[in-house]
Every structure is written in C-alpha cells, then in structure tokens.
C-alpha cells in the first residue's frame, strides 16, 4: 500500500518551475531516491513533502491523510540533513531526544525509545559524547537516530552522505540501507550521486529541470534508459543517431548508425524510424583475433574502432576511439589491457540486446 502519494506537485519561484506536475508513490518500507544534477529540483520536492515549502498546486498524502498544507510539525515526517544539523552544545542522547522533548513525550517513554534506537544504530557507549567528539559517520548515525526515534511515517534524507569522504561514504551507505531494510523505514532520499542511488534504492526517480525524466528500479534505469539525458547521467554511455527498421523476427530490428549495422533485440519498440540509440561501453566485447563465425547464423554485430586513448583503471582498461564517416568518438572498455602495439584498430562485437532506443531525432537536430 502507498505510504506516500505525491500527485501533480508544482512549485514555481517567480516564473521558474522548480517542480512541474511531479507524481509518484512510495510504498511502506520502500526506499525511493530522487536523483538528478544540481538545480533539477530534488531538494525543493523533498521540502514540499516535509512541509518546508508550500506547493503552488498538487497534493501530498501520507498514509490516509492529506498533508499538503500542513506545517512540518503536523505531518509525521523526519528529515536527515547533509550537515547532520546536530546541536553542538547537546550530547548524543539529548540530540537524539530533541524532537521528543519538543513534542512533550513523557520522560519514561523518551528513555525507553532512546535505549532502543541507540542499540539500533550502534551508538551504545557514545551517549554522553558531544558531537565534536564523534566521527563524521557517527554524527550521521546520531542524525538518523534522531529521525528514527520520532517513529515517522516517512524519513526524508537530503544528501546525507555528501560530507563524508569517499571510503566512509560507502560504508555508511550500507549501514543506512541495512537499517532502512531491517526496520522497514519508508524513505525518500535525495542525491546527485548515481552510484549511491543504484546501490541503495528500490525505486529511482530521475529529475531533469523540475520534471520526471524516468522512474523505475535501478536495473531499469541503468540497463533500459529511455532518454539521452538518463543514459548520459547514469553511468557511461555511447549515444548516436540511428536509422531503425523492423526485422522479420518479433522484437528484432536492423539498426544503422555510425558504428556500423547491427541486428538488435528489444522488447521496447523504437518511437520513430530515426531515433537516438545508446549502449554501455562494457557491452562492446573486444575480439582480439577479429570477427569469428556466428553460430546462430544471425548477422554478425562486429565493428572496428580506431583506439586513440587508453586509461588503466585497475579492474578494467577504458578507452576512446573513433569510427564512422564523421569519425565520432566512442567509449570502450577492456577486461584486460589490449595488445594494440601493431595497429590501433580494435575489433568489437556488440551483443544483440545491448542497444537501447531513446527519443526520436528531431528534424534539423
């Protein structure tokens, strides 16, 4: 059942749309991420859900209750901020209980809940420390405990990990996800970090200039982007214009683009004869000895690329090369460092299901 319903939410600042008819739902215990570049409207949307911004139009429901015009205290949400927003003069326990004290919850109940939440977030023994005596990861746990102790219907996270260094960010990311799953916390999480979104979310909502560009499971967003914006924003992608024709077999297409001619399987039909297509660099498989016979008898999806740059990345080697009449640049990836000393021409096979159809090419573009 939907715990949170956001229905056609719109917010303008002057004549600028920070959110335009945004609709989505979050089920009980679901982890929903709002993902997009700086300025796309993630925080504005989160603040409207928390009651810190009033929408121009649209509705917000939490559980059975419409909360669109209620103040933050009157809706049962809790916010976890980027800067933790801990009170420097209060110790861990007092910081965590702050919301309960404001709500005038009985002291005995505060103590009971504090003990439980301290255990849940793994802060046993740290209760009397001041925020300045805690690491960044521990401060983030205090912020999470402070949100959890109020037993909110929805927890709102505003880039909670962006102040942590890369290594710590990864470990705290798993801690938050673990707690969220264990205690079935309905969570709306704002980030511009695509790997964080892919690793943590049940559902990702990709925002672009105040509108939803695509919404789906992390695998759908990564493997089946539906627009150039999403393909480009999430991971590395090659994006080119292509002419597409239906092949004789169901769900198969002939695709002609600068990289060559390909036989493609897709259960999503292209929206026009000329569309943008994309594929991930890891879907181009390097064939060291050139093309080999294809057992299935399908047209062979081989191509040659002139490799211009190689960068050793540890587990893989990434490269850039050119191909086609316009000598477009393509990204490739090798599992091992290729031996290209004789010639820079490398042969690749693009698997049949690796190409995705994006939006139609507009006339004149």
Ligand X SMILES: Nc1ncnc2c1ncn2[C@@H]1O[C@H](COP(=O)(O)OP(=O)(O)OP(=O)(O)O)[C@@H](O)[C@H]1O
**For the sheet containing 345-350, what is the strand order?**
284-286, 345-350, 302-312, 317-323, 328-334
Quick check: 317 and 246 in contact, CB under 8 A? Answer: no
Could you tell me the smallest distance in angstroms from the CB atom of residue 313 to ligand X?
Answer: 27
Cβ closer to ligand X: 192 or 349?
192
Find the radius of gyration of the CA atoms of the chain.
Answer: 25
Task: Out of 44, 68, 180, 214, point to the residue binding ligand X (CB under 6 A).
Answer: 44
Could you tell me the smallest distance in angstroms from the CB atom of residue 278 to ligand X?
Answer: 24
Task: Out of 22, 31, 42, 121, point to the residue binding ligand X (CB under 6 A).
Answer: 42
Q: What is the DSSP string of 172-212?
A: HHHHHHHHHHHTT--EEEEES-HHHHHHH-SEEEEEETTEE
Cβ closer to ligand X: 15 or 289?
15
183: contact with ligand X by CB under 6 A: no
- What b/e string do you get for 4-14 counting C-beta neighbours within 10 Å, with b at 16 or more? bebbebbbeee
38: contact with ligand X by CB under 6 A: yes
18: contact with ligand X by CB under 6 A: yes
Q: Using CB under 6 A, which residues numbered 185 to 214 contact ligand X?
A: 192
CB neighbours (10 Å) of residue 265?
16
Q: Which stretch binds ligand X (CB under 6 A): 40-48, 110-118, 120-128, 217-225?
A: 40-48
- What b/e string do you get for 91-117 counting C-beta neighbours within 10 Å, with b at 16 or more? bbbebbbbbbeeeebeeeebeebbeeb
Cβ closer to ligand X: 138 or 191?
191
Closest CA to 185 of 211, 210, 150: 150
Could you tell me the smallest distance in angstroms from the CB atom of residue 37 to ligand X?
Answer: 7
Cβ closer to ligand X: 39 or 290?
39
Cβ closer to ligand X: 95 or 140?
140
CA pseudo-torsion sign 42, 201, 135, 116: positive
Closest CA to 318 of 336, 332, 303, 307: 332
Sequence-distant (≥ 6) Cβ neighbours of residue 295 within 8 angstroms: none
Task: Out of 26, 35, 40, 118, point to the residue binding ligand X (CB under 6 A).
Answer: 40
Length of the chain: 365
Could you tell me the smallest distance in angstroms from the CB atom of residue 146 to ligand X?
Answer: 22
Task: Out of 26, 31, 33, 43, point to the residue binding ligand X (CB under 6 A).
Answer: 43
Cβ closer to ligand X: 40 or 134?
40
39: contact with ligand X by CB under 6 A: yes
Count of residues engaged in binding ligand X, rule: CB under 6 A: 11
Phi, psi of 168 (to 5 degrees): -65, -35
User: Mutual orientation of helices 136-148 and 92-102 as an angle, nearest 10°?
Assistant: 20
Could you tell me the smallest distance in angstroms from the CB atom of residue 43 to ligand X?
Answer: 3
Q: Which stretch binds ligand X (CB under 6 A): 20-28, 38-46, 144-152, 242-250?
A: 38-46
Cβ closer to ligand X: 52 or 320?
52
Q: Which stretch binds ligand X (CB under 6 A): 32-40, 220-228, 295-303, 320-328?
A: 32-40
Could you tell me the smallest distance in angstroms from the CB atom of residue 40 to ligand X?
Answer: 4
What is the three-class DSSP state of 70? coil
Q: Using CB under 6 A, which residues numbered 78 to 137 contact ligand X?
A: none
Alpha carbon distance 147, 32 (integer Å): 17
Cβ closer to ligand X: 40 or 185?
40
Contacts to ligand X by CB under 6 A: 13, 18, 36, 38-44, 192
């Amino acid at each position: 059942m939907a715990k949170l319903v956001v229905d056609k939410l719109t917010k303008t600042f002057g004549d600028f749309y920070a959110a335009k008819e945004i609709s989505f739902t979050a089920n009980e215990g679901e982890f929903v991420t709002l993902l997009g570049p700086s300025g796309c409207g993630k925080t504005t949307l989160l603040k409207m859900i928390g009651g810190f911004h009033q929408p121009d139009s649209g509705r917000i429901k939490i559980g059975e209750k419409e909360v669109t015009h209620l103040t933050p205290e009157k809706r049962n949400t809790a916010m976890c901020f980027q800067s933790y927003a801990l009170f420097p003069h209060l110790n861990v326990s007092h910081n965590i209980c702050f919301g309960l004290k404001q709500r005038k919850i009985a002291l005995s109940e505060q103590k009971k809940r504090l003990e439980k939440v301290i255990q849940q977030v793994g802060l046993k023994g740290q209760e009397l420390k001041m925020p300045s005596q805690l690491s960044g990861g521990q401060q983030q746990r205090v912020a999470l405990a402070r949100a959890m102790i109020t037993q909110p219907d929805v927890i709102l996270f505003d880039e909670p990990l962006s102040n942590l260094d890369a290594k710590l960010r990864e470990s705290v990311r798993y801690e938050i996800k673990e707690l969220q799953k264990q205690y079935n916390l309905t969570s709306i999480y704002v980030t511009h970090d695509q790997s964080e979104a892919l690793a943590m979310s049940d559902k990702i909502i990709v925002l672009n200039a105040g509108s939803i560009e695509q919404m789906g499971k992390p695998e759908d967003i990564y493997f089946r982007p539906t627009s150039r914006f999403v393909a480009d924003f999430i991971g590395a992608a090659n994006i080119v214009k292509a002419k597409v024709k239906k092949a004789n077999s169901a769900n198969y297409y002939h695709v002609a683009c600068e990289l060559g001619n390909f036989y493609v399987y897709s259960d999503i039909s292209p929206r026009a004869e000329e569309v943008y297509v994309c594929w991930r660099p890891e879907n181009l498989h390097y064939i060291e000895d050139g093309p080999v016979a294809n057992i299935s008898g399908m047209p062979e999806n081989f191509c040659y690329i002139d490799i211009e740059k190689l960068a050793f990345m540890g587990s893989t080697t990434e490269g850039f090369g050119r191909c086609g009449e316009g000598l477009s640049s393509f990204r490739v990836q090798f599992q091992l460092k290729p031996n290209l000393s004789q010639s820079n021409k490398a042969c690749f096979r693009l698997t049949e299901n690796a190409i995705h159809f994006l939006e139609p090419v507009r006339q004149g573009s």
